[in-house]
Amino acid sequence: MLADRNHYIFKVSSVANKHQIKKAVQDHYGVAVDRVTIVNIPRKARRVGRSQGFKAGYKKAMVKLEKGEKIEIMPR
């Protein structure tokens, strides 16, 4: 799993940049972030009958935490 390697994936706003994402994760979860990698997922064409539309694209961020840091997703 990615959590075992200190990597967490978040779906983020399409206008957010790496600095904003890093600050938001540090403020919200109280952890030290080592690196942020961003991937833009493109929109996909969808067809219903003869009409064609698009499924919206989105941006996802892969956040790597400093060694020894961990985000508790489900409190124990």
C-alpha to C-alpha distances, 29 to 8, 21, 50, 74, nearest whole angstrom: 12, 12, 46, 13
Q: Which residue has the higher pLDDT, 73 or 55?
A: 55
Give residue 3's pLDDT band: very low, low, confident or very high (50, 70, 90): confident
Contact 29/22 with Cβ under 8 angstroms?
no
Q: Looking at residue 5, what DSSP letter applies?
A: G
Q: How many CB atoms lie within 10 A of CB 41?
A: 13
The structure's pTM equals 0.83
Domains of the chain in sequence order: 3-65 (3.30.70.330)
pLDDT number for residue 61: 98
At 17-67, the pLDDT tens digits run: 999 999 999 999 999 999 999 999 999 999 999 999 999 999 999 999 999
pLDDT number for residue 13: 96
Q: Taking Cα atoms as reference points, which of 76, 75, 60 lies closest to residue 7?
A: 60
pLDDT number for residue 1: 72
Q: How many CB atoms lie within 10 A of CB 21?
A: 21
